[in-house]
């Protein structure tokens, strides 16, 4: 890094962010981080001021998912601890976010005084972050600070999970020193093990009659989408995606089957995958959400399971084989090109949706109509609840254009995530799908969208409360306040709002939303309390058969 010999710790950290091409940092200042904020403002990096720290975490997470790595910067404890839930989500779903937190100066910390924002001791926040990051450091020593910063960035980038850097305020201007050049920590495969693993995998695939690939989120995170496309086009093996991996491949690719998620997914996809005699899982975490709450039936005897963390073939594991090397070797291996599979049950062309202008809007029709509205430049960000269940059936045109906390499922992700997502990809129009409950948690972050000149189209799926939970256990605890969502433009001084009760109103509002590019658009889609998406219905129906 240039000029590192004379750099201060603050300057080095900023240079490191730029070296990793991080152009936006999300957060809220506080006195313990103000000096670093001053440097941040003087740097070419844009600071994006949010209304809450958890929302800053979601925005940085979305930015990281789209851009490859992201960062959030907050003050000590009141800020950092408020962001732990979103960073926990980034950990669980493998999103590489650098967390920078200010802290009391090392001089101030001597004799353990009761300084504001301190919880138990001065390491409380660091200890909490140890549980939800892959690497963490307190930059309390100028001699080791540069190496520590290198170590955390390196771990975050390689493991695609968050890292924590705490910067005491009197260390920002301290001059650091590079003790040693960062070691090349590139992990490499053991050639013999790699050869043996590839041989076994090739044999299994070659002997199988109807292999299928199940593609997961790690292909997004490591940027292996091209390798996936090459592999399926070389072999004609069809591919399904997990929910968390949705949009890992263009959803109109002729070899794409749809989302596989056990009982929640479409029957045809489920049958196709479960009747395969060789399921090749690539970069997918087999979570309960991916498997439709443990209703999937995959036999280990017929499974090849490859991720960045493990290579399992049937019942045994190969160690010292990297995900990347294995994919490259499979691309070069003598795998036969099969006949094109017959996939005539998949609807390829977008069906024209006939709008029944006066018909009351339902969740099913909402998603059918939205499907016709999604274009090449649309990025869809779905919150949890029926926003996510319904979105499973949406057809995403480009890859990596669908984001959702589909495994950790924290409500409130989508609106703040739309800020990180669109700043990372300004050429995209973001459609946010969000339940009324989730919107009430973080929807006011639209204020930041206005300040940043962003233009999300926010579809509030308003089923008057915690709909998903009503289907599990009804009670007054599922009711929430009845907000006038379409009036928010008045409060925020920008935007366009619509109340949607019929299909005609939805169609008209969506057309106006496309034309309104200067600020956000919010659609309050009024639904029946007990209405639900086809995916949620499928799940309920299949589960009820099991009990």
Ligand X SMILES: Cc1ncc(C[n+]2csc(CCOP(=O)(O)OP(=O)(O)O)c2C)c(N)n1
Least distance to ligand X from the beta carbon of 385, Å? 3
Closest to 176 in 3D by CA, of 404, 348, 349, 12: 12
> How is residue 277 annotated by DSSP?
S
27 binding Mg ion? (CB under 5 A): no
Binding status of residue 524 toward Mg ion by CB under 5 A: no
By CB under 5 A, tell whether 463 contacts Mg ion. yes
The DSSP code for 55 is H
For 236-254, b/e burial (b = at least 16 CB within 10 A) is bbbbbbbbbbbbbbbbeee
* Sole binder of Mg ion in the list 368, 436, 507, 524 (CB under 5 A): 436
Count the site residues for ligand X by CB under 6 A: 17
Closer CB to Mg ion, residue 53 or residue 386? 386
Using rule CB under 6 A, residue 535 touches ligand X: no
Positions in 370-399 near ligand X (CB under 6 A): 384-386
For position 136 contacting ligand X by CB under 6 A, the verdict is: no
What dihedral angle (degrees, nearest 10) is formed by the CA atoms of 401, 407, 410, 411?
60
- Between 400 and 463, CB nearer to Mg ion: 463
Instruction: List CB contacts of 544: < 8 A, sequence separation 6 or more.
Output: none
Residue of 79, 437, 443, 495 interacting with Mg ion (CB under 5 A): 437
Find which of Mg ion, ligand X, none residue 54 binds, CB within 5 to 8 Å per kind.
none
Instruction: Fill in the DSSP letter of residue 242.
Output: -
Number of Cβ atoms within 10 Å of the Cβ of 21 = 9
Site for Mg ion contains 467 (CB under 5 A): yes
Counting other chains too, the contacts that 203-208 makes at CB distance below 8 Å and 24 or more residues apart are 204/278, 204/304, 204/313, 204/314, 205/235, 205/237, 205/278, 205/280, 205/304, 205/335, 206/335, 206/336, 207/278, 208/276, 208/277, 208/278, 208/302
Helix, coil or strand: residue 196: helix
Looking at the DSSP bridge assignments, the partners of residue 83 are none
Nearer to ligand X, 140 or 462 (CB): 462
Distance in Å, CB of 322 to Mg ion, minimum: 43
Nearer to ligand X, 245 or 412 (CB): 412
Instruction: Rule CB under 6 A: say whether 245 interacts with ligand X.
Output: no
Annotate each residue in 459-488 with x if it binds ligand X (CB under 6 A) or - if it does not, as one string. Answer: --x-x--xxxx-------------------
Q: Quick check: 89 binds Mg ion (CB under 5 A)?
A: no
Both tokens of 374, joined, read 């999604």
State yes or no: residue 438 binds ligand X (CB under 6 A).
Answer: yes
**Least Å from the CB of residue 463 to ligand X:** 5
* 70 is a contact residue toward ligand X (CB under 6 A): no
Calculate ∠ Cα 158-160-161, nearest 5°. 120
Using CB under 5 A as the binding rule, whether residue 147 contacts Mg ion is answered as no
Answer yes or no: are the C-beta atoms of 90 and 97 closer than 8 Å.
yes
CA distance linking residue 370 with residue 459, whole number of Å: 10
Output the smallest distance, CB 437 to ligand X, in A. Answer: 3
Nearer to ligand X among residue 436 and residue 507 (C-beta): 436
Could you tell which of ligand X, Mg ion, none binds residue 27, using a CB distance below 5 to 8 A set by kind? none
Closest CA relative to residue 392, chosen from 239, 265, 257:
265
Listed ranges 194-202, 237-245, 459-467, 482-490: which one lies at the site for Mg ion (CB under 5 A) = 459-467
Q: For the segment 402-431, give every residue that binds ligand X (CB under 6 A).
A: 409-412
d(CA 303, CA 280): 6
- Single out the residue of 68, 79, 216, 437 in contact with ligand X (rule: CB under 6 A): 437
The one segment of 56-64, 330-338, 457-465, 469-477 that binds Mg ion by CB under 5 A: 457-465
Binding site for ligand X (CB under 6 A): 384-386, 409-412, 435-438, 461, 463, 466-469
Binding site for Mg ion (CB under 5 A): 435-437, 463, 467
């Amino acid at each position: 890094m240039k000029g590192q010999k004379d750099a201060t710790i603050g300057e080095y950290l900023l240079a490191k962010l730029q070296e990793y091409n991080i152009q936006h940092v999300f957060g809220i200042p506080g006195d313990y981080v103000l000096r670093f904020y001053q440097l941040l403002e003087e740097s070419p990096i844009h600071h994006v001021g949010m209304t809450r720290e958890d929302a800053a975490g979601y925005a940085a997470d979305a930015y990281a998912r789209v851009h490859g790595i992201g960062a959030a910067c907050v003050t000590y404890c009141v800020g950092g601890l408020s962001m732990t839930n979103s960073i926990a989500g980034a950990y669980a779903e493998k999103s590489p976010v650098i967390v920078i937190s200010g802290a009391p100066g090392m001089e101030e910390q001597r004799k353990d005084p009761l300084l504001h924002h301190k919880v138990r001791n001065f390491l409380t926040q660091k200890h909490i972050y140890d549980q939800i990051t892959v690497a963490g450091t307190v930059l309390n020593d100028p001699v080791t600070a540069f190496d520590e910063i290198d170590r955390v960035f390196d771990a975050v980038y390689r493991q695609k999970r968050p890292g924590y850097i705490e910067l005491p305020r009197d260390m920002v201007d301290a001059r650091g020193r590079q003790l040693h050049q960062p070691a090349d920590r590139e992990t490499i495969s053991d050639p013999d093990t790699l050869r043996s693993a590839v041989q076994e995998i090739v044999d299994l695939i070659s002997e199988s009659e109807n292999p299928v690939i199940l593609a997961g989120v790690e292909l997004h995170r490591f940027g292996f989408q091209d390798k996936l496309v090459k592999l399926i086009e070389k072999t004609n093996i069809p591919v399904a995606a997990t929910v968390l991996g949705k949009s890992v491949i263009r959803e109109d690719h002729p070899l794409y089957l749809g989302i596989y998620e056990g009982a929640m997914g479409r029957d045809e996809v489920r049958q196709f995958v479960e009747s395969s005699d060789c399921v090749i899982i690539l970069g997918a975490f087999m979570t309960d959400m991916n498997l439709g709450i443990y209703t999937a039936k995959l036999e280990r005897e017929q499974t090849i399971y490859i991720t960045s963390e493990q290579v399992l073939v049937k019942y045994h594991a190969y160690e010292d084989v990297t995900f990347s090397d294995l994919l490259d070797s499979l691309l070069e291996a003598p795998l036969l090109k099969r006949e094109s599979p017959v996939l005539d049950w998949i609807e390829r062309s977008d069906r024209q949706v006939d709008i029944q202008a006066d018909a009351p809007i339902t969740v099913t029709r909402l998603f059918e109509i939205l499907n016709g509205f999604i274009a090449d430049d649309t990025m869809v960000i779905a919150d949890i609840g029926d926003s996510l269940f319904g979105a499973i059936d949406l057809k995403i045109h480009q890859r990596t254009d669908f984001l959702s906390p589909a495994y950790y499922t924290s409500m409130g992700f989508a609106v703040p995530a739309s800020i990180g997502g669109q700043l990372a990809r300004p050429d995209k129009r973001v459609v946010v799908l969000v339940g009324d409950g989730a919107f009430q948690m973080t929807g006011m972050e639209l204020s930041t969208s206005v300040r940043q000149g962003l233009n999300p189209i926010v579809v509030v799926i308003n089923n008057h409360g915690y709909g998903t939970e009503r289907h599990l256990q009804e009670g007054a605890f599922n009711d929430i306040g009845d907000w006038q969502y379409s009036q928010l433009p008045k409060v925020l001084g920008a935007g366009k709002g619509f109340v949607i009760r019929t299909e005609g109103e939805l169609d008209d509002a969506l057309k106006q939303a496309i034309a309104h590019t200067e600020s956000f658009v919010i659609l309050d889609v009024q639904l029946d309390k007990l209405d639900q998406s086809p995916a949620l219905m499928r799940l309920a129906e299949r589960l009820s058969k099991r009990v």
